[in-house]
Chains A and B, each alone.
Chain A
Amino acid sequence: MSAVQRIRGGIGADEEYWLAIERGEFRISRCRHCKSWMWPANFRCGKCGSWDIDWEPVEPIGTIYTWTRNHAVSEALAERQADLPYVTLLVELPQAGGARVAGVLEGDETALKIGAQVRGRILPPSDKAKGYGSVVWSIESDAA
């Protein structure tokens, strides 16, 4: 188990996701029985009733589903104050059943638009990411 104080907002079924990130792996959960991709992670597959969940390695490539450029952040994100303005994304992962993951955009923003292809890079735990490892995304220039 990680020593990081975990954030309590979710249902707490995604611990394996964060542990994988800390190992440098990008994994999304999937029902072992009916093979449905499950995102966000859950304890039970609501589609078939299975309690058996696998964490499958997924290549961190996706498309920008939507985005915003942030010019202000709440107190909860004080660590990001110096980065303003920065762009956050929802990234759609076609190879994982269309799961949408949240992320920060890094690098050139010229080709920023819904549908642009992005590639993720895993970062080690940082204060900025609340002590968690994270995936940051950049636009693939040849695909843009």
Chain B
Amino acid sequence: MTRSMRGSAAIVGIGQTPYYKRGTSPDAEMKLALRAIVSACDDAGIDPRDVDGFVSYGSEHNTGQKLVPGLGTRELRFGALAWTHGGGIPAAVGIAAAAIHAGQADVVAVYRAMAEGSNQRLRVAVTQNDTPAQFLVNGIDMVMQRSAMRSRRMIEVDGVPAETLETIARVSYYHAQNNSGAVGHGRMLTHEQYAGSRFISEPYHLFDCSRENDGAAALILVSADRARDLKQKPAYVLSVPMGAGADGGSREDNHEPYTSVGMIGLAKRMWAESGYGPADVDVAQIYENFTGMAVQSIIDHGFCTAQTAGDFVTFDNLIAPSGSLPINTSGGNIADGFIHGMGSMVEAVRQIRGTSTNQVPGAKLSMMAGGPGDSMTSTGLFGAFETL
């Protein structure tokens, strides 16, 4: 028998503060974390005092133990932090599900809170002491420039059309027009605006890059048994693999294959454990720190190949409700808002509930790919009851 926690836990609560322009949050970062978690508990119909597990990722400072007094936690039974940055998002959900599956906790919050006023700027806070000397000495900081170099080779050597980058950006802005809370709401991105925007790190234009926000988002997970009796339609955790392959991990851009964003092996495991494949996915949130990395994430997951990316990664194919794979349906990190990618996880759950502002009709299988290119990353497939 194959060991698996497929379907044993479910996301039953989601909560989110508004996205505030970076540095303008009216609340301290800890308060944002509390607001998101309490909001997710209200959504689930669970007393915040009953949350007994806390999981986050990246550089989260609002640890479980700090949240205990404000939440009135009866007993903190489980706490963990998934390694790396945006790559740790589905992994954090997986850690929570594993804790529930193993009987270590009953109600687990997965959350991320960021506020410049209480913390440092995201870019600094996230990558502080995490960029190797080999890069910093040579005028390269951790994420943007290294991602740009990877996308350059994806385009020139693998043959992925450069237009796919613009497509990701324009799909995100298109979806943001129906989402009144999105940072990009009311501002459609045209081809002319994209093409006319300045280069940041070639081939990335300004619009290829996600922007930082203040804010917080949280999920509440419980066992599948308990989920059935709660208020919301559960989003069952089907598979949330994390990791890095034998030629991956911290190799300072000496990983193989170089243009991969570390998702090839993860996707294989996810399809195997869940019993589904790329063609079955109804809707996907593809973490996009930079558009080119999202394109490669789509390729790594097997939705298309480098050779067919020009046909698959098109505006019509990626928009809701009509595309074959609507992505980033709230506007994503680029046009909804960026609290370190956690907003995308909330949107993945909304699609299963049927409450997205860009709802894919009847969506049952909802995917969330974690941060592409992190030295360790993760991806996740979530489903409605019928998918179990």
Q: What is A's interface to B at a CB cutoff of 8 Å?
A: 6-11, 14, 18, 39-40, 65-77, 80, 83, 85-86, 88-90, 99-104, 113-114, 128-130, 132, 134
Contacts and interface: CB of A to CB of B under 8 A. Distances in A.
Contacts of A68: 145, 148-149, 152, 201-203
B156 A101 contact: no
Contacts of A88: 138-140, 145, 149
5 contacts: A9-B131, A9-B142, A11-B250, A40-B254, A103-B138
Given A40-B251, A67-B152, A71-B202, A9 B144 contact: no
B2 interface: no
A74 B134 contact: no
A14 B250 CA distance: 14
Contact of B123 (A71, A74, A113, A130): A74
A71 to B, nearest CB: 5
Given A7-B137, A9-B132, A10-B133, 11 more contacts: A39-B252, A40-B252, A68-B201, A69-B201, A70-B139, A71-B199, A74-B141, A77-B139, A102-B134, A102-B252, A114-B153
B124 interface: yes
Contacts of A18: 133
Nearest to B198: A71
B84 to A, nearest CB: 13
A114 B152 CA distance: 9
B141 A40 contact: no
B276 interface: no
A76 B121 CA distance: 12
Contacts of A71: 198-202
B150 interface: yes
B138 A14 contact: no
A102 B135 contact: yes
A121 to B, nearest CB: 13
B131 A76 contact: yes
Interface in B247-272: 250-254, 258
A55 B294 CA distance: 38
A11 B145 CA distance: 21
